[in-house]
Amino acid sequence: MSHIYSSLKAFAYGDRLAVIGQGRVPAPVHVRIKPTNVCNHACYFCAYRKPDLSLGSGMVERDRIPREKMREIVEDLIAMGIAAVTFSGGGEPLIYPFIGETVERLGAAGLRLGMLTNGSRLLGKTAQMIAPHMTWVRVSIDGWDGPSYARYRGVEMDAFATVIENLSAFVRLAPRCTVGASIIVDADNAPHLFDLARTLKDAGVAQVKVSPCILHDDGAANNAYHRPLAATVAAELASCRELEDGRFTIVDHYHDSDESYDKPYHRCAMTNLLTVIGADCRVYTCQDKAYTDSGCLGSVREIRFRDFWRSPELAQRLAALDPAAHCRHHCVADAKNRMLDDFLRLDPAHAPFV
Ligand code: SF4
């Protein structure tokens, strides 16, 4: 049976890896776009808004990519042969007023499209415009009923029911799209994971991904927070797995945070394959460094993305990035970078000895 999560996806792009191996910069395979930093929810754990988390420390909440710049970026991504685009926050991508036309243009050109959303605006004309083009949509959700959802997000009591209705309708509207949900586990919702997973399954969601809430930059502090929850979460996940069948799966990403951020490699291969365009029109190395000075590769406000990506300045900036020295924090791509570094350092004369 095929699956959709793997750390090995980069190895499907041997042509790009060969270019990196030659010390050059290929076109990325995948671009994450943060169209806007505006959000209609106020989640207490939002990594972009928690002042004690370094992620998003330089984010300006009113920023959004101007319409003409977005059109230009879309043209460039198509011309460059980018394979996939994910829309995410910063803010809520479905609040971006030009999201429908952006998705339609990219989808008509054959790019694979994904979106991380809170689901509150996954309805009406926008839902109809994006539905035929999305490979996946994942809705973040944490409360298990109206009152709990309202507490988590600072929204009205009926917001939970609206999101569940939106999900249910979108599943019918987009039968080829993998509609999933992401539950961020904390002390409040840990005893309610089964209830929430069952509600999501009843709404037609195909996958529920379960991950720990990150409340601290420090991995040891996160682990100390989650340790008392571990038995409850394990029992709830065991019940959740009983919901699994041919059309519904649980993806268990609830695990300890790394307590050491040592990285034994000196190049970030993943930054060549996946890059991030922020709502401030700056390009960042990755999700973990979005809206930080140390992750900023430059701005595309005054130049086209394709010209920026081909520029000697970008090549120099990527070559100067040493994860062992500059990324002493959580890295979403660490496992992938370890494998890619091992692969890219392989002596070609010895590769045939599989
Ligand atoms: S945090 Fe990870 S993905 Fe981001 S630049 Fe550093 S090594 Fe690369």
Q: Report the chain's mean pLDDT, rounded to a whole number.
A: 94
> What's the count of helices (H) and strands (E) in the chain, helices before strands?
14, 10
What pLDDT, in 10s, does the model give residues 216-227?
878 888 899 999
Strand order in the sheet with 282-284: 249-252, 207-212, 178-185, 134-141, 112-117, 84-87, 30-33, 274-277, 282-284, 296-299
SS3 assignment, position 341:
helix
Exposure string over 136-154, b if 16+ CB within 10 A, otherwise e: bbbbbbbbbebebbbebbe
What pLDDT, in 10s, does the model give residues 53-68?
666 778 999 999 999 9
SS3 assignment, position 210:
strand
Q: What is the average per-residue pLDDT within 76-86?
A: 98
SS3 assignment, position 10:
helix
Cα angle 181-183-185, degrees, rounded to a multiple of 5: 175
Is any atom of ligand 1 closer than 6 Å to the C-beta of 288? Answer: yes
Is any atom of ligand 1 closer than 6 Å to the C-beta of 272? Answer: no
Q: How far apart are CA 97 and CA 90, in angstroms?
A: 15
CA of 268 relative to ligand 1 center, distance in Å: 6
Nearest in space to 152 (alpha carbons), one of 179, 191, 187, 122: 187
Q: Tell me the best of 258, 287, 292, 327 to mutate to test the pocket of ligand 1, counting ligand atoms within 8 Å of each CB and taking the most.
A: 327
Report the pLDDT value the prediction gives residue 29, as an integer from 0 to 100. Answer: 98
Whose tokens are 């939106």? That residue is: 166
pLDDT of residue 190 exceeding 80, the answer is yes
Domains and CATH numbers, the chain: 28-176+264-348 (3.20.20.70)
Residue 128: both structure tokens together: 């109809």
Q: What is the average per-residue pLDDT within 313-321?
A: 96
Residue 213: both structure tokens together: 């809430």
Is any atom of ligand 1 closer than 6 Å to the C-beta of 286? Answer: yes
What's this model's pTM, rounded to 2 decimal places? 0.95
Whose tokens are 């595309």? That residue is: 300
What are the distances in angstroms from CA 333 to CA 238, 272, 275, 288, 293?
28, 12, 12, 9, 19
Q: Are 86 and 106 in contact (CB under 8 A)?
A: no
Instruction: Work out the end-to-end distance of the chain between its first and last CA atoms, rounded to an integer number of angstroms.
Output: 26
What are the distances in angstroms from CA 87 to CA 46, 210, 306, 352?
17, 20, 19, 39
Report the pLDDT value the prediction gives residue 259, as an integer from 0 to 100. Answer: 78
SS3 assignment, position 66:
coil
pLDDT of residue 1 exceeding 70, the answer is no
Measured on CA atoms in the order 186, 326, 335, 21, is the torsion positive or negative?
positive
pLDDT of residue 52 exceeding 90, the answer is no
Ligand 1 atom with the smallest distance to the CA of 271 is 8
What pLDDT, in 10s, does the model give residues 229-254?
999 999 999 999 999 999 999 999 99
CA of 279 relative to ligand 1 center, distance in Å: 20
Q: What is the average per-residue pLDDT within 127-139?
A: 98
**Roughly what angle, to the nearest 10 degrees, separates helices 159-173 and 193-202?**
40
